[in-house]
Structures are given as structure tokens and as C-alpha cells.
Homo-oligomer: A and B are copies of this chain.
């Protein structure tokens, strides 16, 4: 049978309340008492009953990770990071996928979110793109006054968030391409709903302009982060009929970059000799395609970690309003110097 707080109390010859104080690290317990209670709790392998504690405190010691993102890799890393932080604080992570994109009107979305959140009284939620900026979700969270941390949101808002500087990353990657001698550089945009899409685009444009290069309309193609959209974009950019082909293509995520490499291969174009390609995200895919993809590594794990950490923060610790984490440019084999 599982030990209860009463068992520990009896064994230690103190009241339940004192045990409770020790377990919650509350002040005003004599050091000697504290040590004894701790020892006995360990001995009995006591661990508090979450339901009871939750009922008494109206906290659940649960935080939710809410997402509507088809990229398993992204979620999986966020998740790992978040769980890591939860464990340290005695919290647990429950995952709640939401399919909001195709679920009708704003009110229907609100209803859906509310149903999920009503049922499970979590202490906080982590929002991943594109939900970080979803009105319906934010509205319900506000209404139920649930704490939340947004990952890579489009605009600040009042809640804390964690993100990275997509624009600068994109800017630096473009500069790298320029340094390799490329001037005819095409850019494939991501999904419109994601905050990162316009930031990455902006960084690209900024670097091009600083280099005094015109950004041709024909060299900016809209994608949606999927492999298929990347392939379509590549076919368009590399078409024979295209008056002049780019010497480099900057796809704003790895899936689309992989598609570019694949299409180039099918068309008999050698990457990186006749076409340089780079991506964004550093998914496992990046190392798995050939040639290995030059890309930007996002600190995904850490984002999840920091987000959860903020949510499980004990109130006496300092709050973080927003955090911008560092990225890293991974130079691999898919970009070469222009001869």
C-alpha cells in the first residue's frame, strides 16, 4: 500500500501539518524535525497524492503542451525540453494536439479549445507556433486565467515567451551565401500562419539590400513549409523556361530545402556544384539528405525547457518576460562557392 502523510506523521511523532511543511519546504520547522521527517519519508518511499494535494490547493501540478503542428520533430524536441523542466519541479506534462486550422469559425475554435481546457485544470500551458498567435486560444486562456508561455510568437503580447531571432539568423545565412559569391539567390517562404515566415523573409531581404542586390519578384516563391510545396517552388525556380536560374536557393525550412535538392537531382543539376541550397531548422533530415544541408540550428529543446521552467517557477523566483535564445549556423555540404 502506498504511504500517506499520516503514516509519516505517526512514525515521526509529529502532526500531519508539520510533515506537510517539511515536504513543501515551508519555513518555521526546526532543523532537527525537518531532517527526521525527511528521513522517514524517504524510508517509507512516501510521495504525496497529487489528487489530494490538487484538491486542497486547487493546483494540478500539470502543465499542457498545446500544438497544432504537423512537424513531429519540432514537437518532440519541445516536449523533451519541457518535460525536463517539469521533472525538476515535480510537474508533469500532458500533451494536447488541437486541430484548429480546419475547424470552422472563430467561435467554434473557442469552443473546442475551451472543451479541452475545461476538462483538465492545468496550471499552465505552452503554446507552439502557429498557435502562439491564435486568437481563439489566447482568448480562452485569458478567460480561464491560465498562465501561458508562447513559443516563437509573432507579437509580444503581455505573456512571457521564448523565441529566437529568426530575422538575424536568416540575415546571417544570406550573408554567408553572398560571401560565397552568390548573387542570384532565390528564397522560398514558409507558411503564412507562422510568425517565422515573414521574419525569415525580412532577414533575407535585408542582407540582399545591404549588399546592393535587387530582390527580384521571380526569386521569391511562396511555400508552406511542406516538402511538396518546396518541390513545387523548386520546379518553378529551376524551370528551363525560366530566363535565368538562381545559383542558390534559400528555403526557409529543411523540408523545403530537401525538396529543392531532390528536384535538382531529378533535373540533373548537381548540388552544390551548380546549385547551392540551404535550409532552416536543422531537423534530422538535414543530415540525412545528400549532400548534407547547410542550415540554421534552432534551440528547440531549450525553448521547450525554458517555457516550462517559466511556468513551474515558484513565485519567489524571478519572472522572465521574454527570452531570445541563440541560434547557430550549421555549415555542411549543400552550399559551395560560386565559380
- By a beta-carbon cutoff of 8 Å, the part of chain A in contact with chain B is 45, 47, 49-52, 54-55, 58, 60, 62, 72-73, 75-77, 79-80, 83, 90, 92-97, 114, 118-121, 227, 255, 258-259, 261-262, 265-266, 284-285, 287-290
Contact = CB atoms under 8 A, between A and B. Distances in A.
Contacts of A62: 94
A47 B119 contact: yes
A158 to B, nearest CB: 23
Contact of A50 (B114, B119, B265, B288): B119
A289 to B, nearest CB: 7
A10 to B, nearest CB: 20
Contact of A94 (B75, B76, B93): B93
A50 B94 contact: no
Contacts of A261: 290
Q: How many copies does the complex hold?
A: 2
Contact of A51 (B51, B76, B262, B266): B51
Contacts of A289: 262, 288-289
A249 B168 CA distance: 43
Contact of A95 (B54, B79, B266, B284): B79
Contacts of A97: 79-80, 83
Contacts of A77: 72
B72 A120 contact: no
A119 B90 contact: yes
Nearest to A121: B50
A230 B54 CA distance: 48
A83 B60 contact: no
A255 to B, nearest CB: 7
Contact of A288 (B52, B55, B255): B255
Contacts of A80: 97
Q: Which of A47, A83, A290 has the most CB of B within 10 A?
A: A290
Contacts of A258: 288
A268 to B, nearest CB: 12
A247 to B, nearest CB: 21
A93 B95 contact: yes
Given A51-B121, A55-B49, A76-B76, A288 B285 contact: yes
Given A51-B51, A51-B60, A93-B94, 8 more contacts: A47-B118, A49-B121, A51-B121, A76-B76, A92-B120, A94-B94, A255-B288, A266-B290
A73 B120 CA distance: 26
B50 A52 contact: no
25 contacts: A45-B114, A47-B118, A47-B119, A49-B55, A49-B121, A50-B51, A50-B120, A51-B51, A51-B52, A51-B54, A51-B60, A72-B73, A72-B77, A72-B284, A79-B97, A92-B120, A94-B94, A95-B95, A227-B284, A227-B288, A255-B288, A258-B288, A261-B290, A265-B265, A285-B288
